[in-house]
Amino acid sequence: MVYYEDEKLVIRNMEETDGPVFVKELTAQGWHPDPAGYMSRLNDQSEEKCTALTAVYEGCPAGYVYVYLHADDGPFKEKGWPIIIDFNVLKKYQRKGIGNRLMDVAEQVAVQYADTVCLGVGVCDSYGTAQRMYVRRGYIPDGSGVWYRGKQCIQYETVCTVDDDLILYFYKQLQCLS
């Protein structure tokens, strides 16, 4: 399904052929993507647990995001809110508006299920661009502090090495676009 299209950008459901492209590009960026992760997300999409979105810029997969119907852990577990996870725009495609457009579509998907959407974002500097974008888009921290691998961190307790699993949760009230 195509959710958005203009002369340069298409946002559509993720396809099986997108995963290998993202694995190759993210590896070139110095990341360590899990190829099985893309297949798992596609399986979740086929089971209607999530919507997996791919942004295609000038014919090339450039970014992706997943909208799950319900948060499975963290502070929003019992709220029944959709959660946006694993948002990414490849470095060579950043600063072209792709991320904001992907988030627009993710929020349009989420508002079909609830009036609030949530997400978690890493606290490392590599997530700085995403952190700033979420705040500009109206997301606010939920106030529960930092979480690590699904558990709330306790003040003064040694928890982990700072990695991608150390996150801060945000939420946003959505407005129906009808």
Asked if residue 107 lies in contact with residue 128, where contact means CB atoms within 8 angstroms, the answer is no
Go through the domains of the chain in sequence order and give each one's CATH number. 2-173 (3.40.630.30)
- Model confidence at 177, pLDDT cuts 50, 70, 90, reads low
User: What pLDDT score was predicted for residue 2?
Assistant: 97
Size of the chain, expressed as the number of residues it contains: 178
pTM: 0.94
Least confident of 4-13, 19-28, 83-92, 155-164: 155-164
**Order of all β-strands in the sheet with 9-13:** 2-5, 9-13, 50-57, 60-68, 83-89, 116-122, 166-173, 140-148, 151-152
DSSP state of 154: P
Query: Rounded to 5 degrees, what are φ and ψ at 145?
Result: 80, -160
Residue 51 has pLDDT above 80, yes or no: yes
Task: Using pLDDT thresholds of 50, 70 and 90, give the confidence band for residue 157.
Answer: confident
Average pLDDT in the 72-77 region? 92
d(CA 16, CA 52): 11
Better-predicted residue by pLDDT, 43 or 176: 43
